Chains A and B, each alone.
Chain A
Amino acid sequence: MSATAWAWLVLLFPLLGSIAIALGYRALPAKAAGIIGTLSIGLAFACGVAATISLLGDEPHSRHHASSLWDYASVAGLDIKLGIFVDPLSLFMVLVVTGVSTLIHLYSYGYMQSDEGYHRFFSYLNFFVFSMLLLVLAGNFVLLIVGWAFVGFASYALISFWYRRETATKAGMKAFVINVVGDIGLVLAAFLIFREVGAFDYGTVFERAPEVFTTNEWTITAICLLLLVGAFAKSAQLPLHTWLPDAMEGPTPVSSLIHAATMVTAGVYLIARTHVLFELAPTAADVAAFTGLATLLVAGTMALVMTDLKRAIAYSTMSQIGYMIMGVSIGAYSAGMFHLMTHAFFKALLFMAAGSIIAAMANDQNIDRMSGFGKAMRFTSITFVCGALALAAFPSTSGFFSKDEILAFAEARGGMYVIFTVLGYVGALLTAVYAFRLVFRVLPGRPCAEAQELIDTGHVAHEAPKNPATGEPEDTDVGFPGAEHHIAEQNWPMRAAMGVLAVLALVGGLVQVPDVDHVITNFLHPVFEASIFEHIHPSPRAEWIGLGIGGAISLLGIGIAYYFYVARAELPRRLEARLRPLHTLFVNKWYFDELIDFLVVRPALATGRFADRVFERFVVDGLVTGTAETVRGAGGVVRAVQSGFVRSYALLLFAGFAGLALYFLLAS
């Protein structure tokens, strides 16, 4: 079968799975839903592998195929097909997405076991994977936008999965609204592209773009900036990032899948896919790179002071995506995608481990209350440490190779871009510190009460479920991890998934060791061979030096974390007291939420209120009731004639007669 046929199957299986689970919700027992869900993604992964094998059989230069099912619209110059585009980049994303998703589905099979909304969860999750695959396989901008919007919806549905929780629904709405802002940017960009180039499908657009646009012309810059709006909203970069920490209201598998491995990487994929356009608009590309850098650093500082375990990992995601965005914006395409892949591995793993720990804590996510889980939960702690090592770019882990490849490329590009390398290493230091801050706060030390209970009785502590943020009791009728919490040690699907990811996090980087093998670069080469940055290669010496510096920084960061959180445990508090203003700034997330509230939310609410009080009441109501009142008034006037007095009727009669006679006299 051809690569495109396999690709269509890749799309089909998750969709079928979602529909089957949704329709069979009453008939299927819970386990069956989980099996169908996981199996459909697993099949999609298998088809993805088959498609890759098929594609690799082609000549490198012809490794791109478009295939369409039918014409969407073929009128007035528009030619939109329901078509997919299969090339190494899209298949790379397919493999990462389906691979990690299969493992996360397996994890959820165990983790969500006692949840009332089990079927709904798997249906939504499958739908999400389908939308994400649609996004990456789309062959034209219209289908891309469709996939983009579906992904936004799936994210909303999954964030507010426990819909009786007010914080969850608010977070879902926040995510959706910010995503819509991104959608607007994307749609406007698509319009502009159509206006300038006259087509929507990738092949035509990327072929004709260099002819239609001159470098740094305002149209192409506008297009790229609008694309960036979309990318930043989806990938939670400054300033459209405020939804990501709140999105942790969703169940942990959701955080791990959507907000670590797949959805938030859509922005990176977008920039990589449209790299032709970005190369024609270097200004926009620089904007993207600097935004990525800024996000990287700001999110790192925020992760440093977060006391909520999942939120800290979420800020870490933001920071790492900053690396990826930076990478693909300055031209390090394969490096950026490599980091995307390794990040998917270790971030998903980190979330899974965090989920296990939080379950043991009876859903309390506050790390101030956690300690001593190293003893209580062996397997979870080991996988957690594996993920943290990869995140901190410990030498020889996957994160080590991927992060440094981006920074080496920036240095090789030279000029202004060396700033990225320098500040990138600063960010790497921050990353290592906050990653191991989490490790050293949660794992070693005297076991806290819940951990102690686990050690002594093997029982997972649970109390009546309460919303960790507000403390209100949960509504377990509609889905909340019931009264039962599931930890990895007692659940084989969770262990299987975490185990696989831990191995990948540790060894996944070996596919791209400098000077040894370049699996990913070679695989993606046909896509980017026309790029103007293809010729930039850091020399092997520079690469090894970079790796050395990176490794040193990582060890330094781990050492600092050890010093602060294990050796001298009272130091953080004293530091916090000394640097109180800085600490407050970081804890309040650099006041972005407040800023957006002031700039956007308040004016919008005020406009709404104005519309309701003034416009609605006076203009609209005025028009409607005013018309009614006028008619009634006129009726009232006419009614006054019907006085009931016969003589006044007679008067009117004579008056009419006199008038008529006058008319005829004058007319004759």
Chain B
Amino acid sequence: MEEVLFFGSAIGALGGAVGVIALRNPFYSVLALIVHLFSLAALFLLLTSAFVAAAQVVVYAGAVMVLYVFVVAYVGGGGESAWEPIPGQRFLAPLLGIALFVELSVAVLSSSLLALGTDGPDVEAGFGDPAAIGTLMLEKFLLPFEASSLLLLLAAVGAIVLAHRRREANA
């Protein structure tokens, strides 16, 4: 059962990823990413990380993607021309991607970290619960938590500055 779910979600994730990079129309790419994100949420659930899965769906697929949809609607979904100005880019990029993947896989698979081959240790029932995450955030990781909220503030201010309409320099 677990394998079926895993492979299904994996195919969804991969499909979405390939869709993002391959589809011409940016709107379709956004949709593909949403599919990808949902598949990832499923994978998180398989890894008994309930909170992260929920956050993924609500924050990422919900808020961030909506933002994207708004912008794509505003900007318009123009495709890119087929001609590539940088010689060799179209050839080298997939090659590098494959090389990267192969290296990372080799690194992981031949690693002496034996625990990678297991399913992980047995965990108690509340693993991955919001309570557990919350406790950690407010106790051990308080500083990163506060820092990330500061970061959100900065991002909001930055967005406002960027969106600010230039006033004409008269009067």
Do A and B come into direct contact in the complex, CB within 8 Å? yes
Residues of B within 8 A of A645 (CB): 85-86
Residues of A within 8 A of B92 (CB): 651, 655
A606-652 contacts to B (CB < 8 Å): 643, 645, 647-648, 651
User: In the complex, are the beta carbons of B100 and A654 less than 8 A apart?
Assistant: yes
User: In the complex, are the beta carbons of A665 and B100 less than 8 A apart?
Assistant: no
A27-46 contacts to B (CB < 8 Å): none
Taken together as a complex, chains A and B put the C-alpha atoms of A657 and B101 apart, in Å, by 12
A296-355 contacts to B (CB < 8 Å): none
User: In the complex, are the beta carbons of A661 and B93 less than 8 A apart?
Assistant: no
- Known pairs A665-B106, A665-B107; A658 contacts B89 (CB<8 A): no
Taken together as a complex, chains A and B put the C-alpha atoms of A654 and B86 apart, in Å, by 16
- Give the residue of A647, A648, A655, A665 whose beta carbon is less than 8 angstroms from that of B96: A655
User: In the complex, are the beta carbons of A661 and B107 less than 8 A apart?
Assistant: yes
Q: Does B129 contact A (CB under 8 A)?
A: no
- Give the residue of A647, A648, A658 whose beta carbon is less than 8 angstroms from that of B100: A658
User: In the complex, are the beta carbons of B93 and A651 less than 8 A apart?
Assistant: yes
Secondary structure at the A interface, as helix, strand, loop or mixed, is helix
- Give the residue of A647, A651, A655, A661 whose beta carbon is less than 8 angstroms from that of B103: A661
Residues of A within 8 A of B85 (CB): 645
Residues of B within 8 A of A654 (CB): 96, 100
- Chain B minimum-CB-distance residue to A660: B103
Taken together as a complex, chains A and B put the C-alpha atoms of A648 and B96 apart, in Å, by 12
Residues of A within 8 A of B66 (CB): none
Residues of B within 8 A of A661 (CB): 100, 103-104, 107
User: In the complex, are the beta carbons of B104 and A643 less than 8 A apart?
Assistant: no
User: In the complex, are the beta carbons of A662 and B103 less than 8 A apart?
Assistant: yes
A654, A658, A662, A665: residue with the most chain B Cβ atoms closer than 10 Å: A658
User: In the complex, are the beta carbons of B99 and A658 less than 8 A apart?
Assistant: yes
Taken together as a complex, chains A and B put the C-alpha atoms of A647 and B104 apart, in Å, by 22
- Chain B minimum-CB-distance residue to A654: B96
* Chain B proximity of A656: nearest CB distance (Å): 10
- Give the residue of B89, B104, B106, B107 whose beta carbon is less than 8 angstroms from that of A651: B89
Interface residues on B, range: 10 to 19
- Give the residue of A647, A657, A662, A665 whose beta carbon is less than 8 angstroms from that of B89: A647
Interface residues as binary, B83-109 with A (CB distance below 8 Å gives 1, 0 otherwise) = 001100100110010011001101100
User: In the complex, are the beta carbons of B96 and A658 less than 8 A apart?
Assistant: yes
Taken together as a complex, chains A and B put the C-alpha atoms of A665 and B103 apart, in Å, by 8
Residues of B within 8 A of A665 (CB): 103, 106-107
Interface residues as binary, B103-119 with A (CB distance below 8 Å gives 1, 0 otherwise) = 11011000000000000
Taken together as a complex, chains A and B put the C-alpha atoms of A472 and B93 apart, in Å, by 83
A239-277 contacts to B (CB < 8 Å): none
User: In the complex, are the beta carbons of A658 and B86 less than 8 A apart?
Assistant: no
* Chain A proximity of B88: nearest CB distance (Å): 9
Taken together as a complex, chains A and B put the C-alpha atoms of A662 and B103 apart, in Å, by 7
* Chain B proximity of A657: nearest CB distance (Å): 7
User: In the complex, are the beta carbons of A658 and B103 less than 8 A apart?
Assistant: yes
Taken together as a complex, chains A and B put the C-alpha atoms of A229 and B106 apart, in Å, by 86
Residues of A within 8 A of B99 (CB): 658, 662
Taken together as a complex, chains A and B put the C-alpha atoms of A648 and B93 apart, in Å, by 10
Residues of B within 8 A of A648 (CB): 86, 89
- Chain B minimum-CB-distance residue to A653: B96
Residues of A within 8 A of B106 (CB): 665
- Known pairs A661-B104, A665-B103; A643 contacts B96 (CB<8 A): no
Taken together as a complex, chains A and B put the C-alpha atoms of A647 and B99 apart, in Å, by 18
* Chain B proximity of A665: nearest CB distance (Å): 6
Residues of A within 8 A of B104 (CB): 661
Taken together as a complex, chains A and B put the C-alpha atoms of A401 and B15 apart, in Å, by 128
Residues of A within 8 A of B103 (CB): 658, 661-662, 665
Taken together as a complex, chains A and B put the C-alpha atoms of A358 and B4 apart, in Å, by 129
Taken together as a complex, chains A and B put the C-alpha atoms of A651 and B86 apart, in Å, by 11
Taken together as a complex, chains A and B put the C-alpha atoms of A654 and B103 apart, in Å, by 12
Taken together as a complex, chains A and B put the C-alpha atoms of A156 and B93 apart, in Å, by 80
Chain B interface (Cβ < 8 Å from any Cβ of A): 85-86, 89, 92-93, 96, 99-100, 103-104, 106-107
| 17 cross-chain CB contacts under 8 A | A643-B86, A645-B85, A647-B86, A647-B89, A648-B89, A651-B89, A651-B96, A654-B96, A654-B100, A657-B100, A658-B99, A658-B100, A661-B100, A661-B103, A661-B104, A662-B99, A662-B103
Chain A interface (Cβ < 8 Å from any Cβ of B): 643, 645, 647-648, 651, 654-655, 657-658, 661-662, 665
| A-B interface, 3 closest residue pairs, ranked by CB to CB distance from nearest | A661-B103, A658-B99, A648-B86
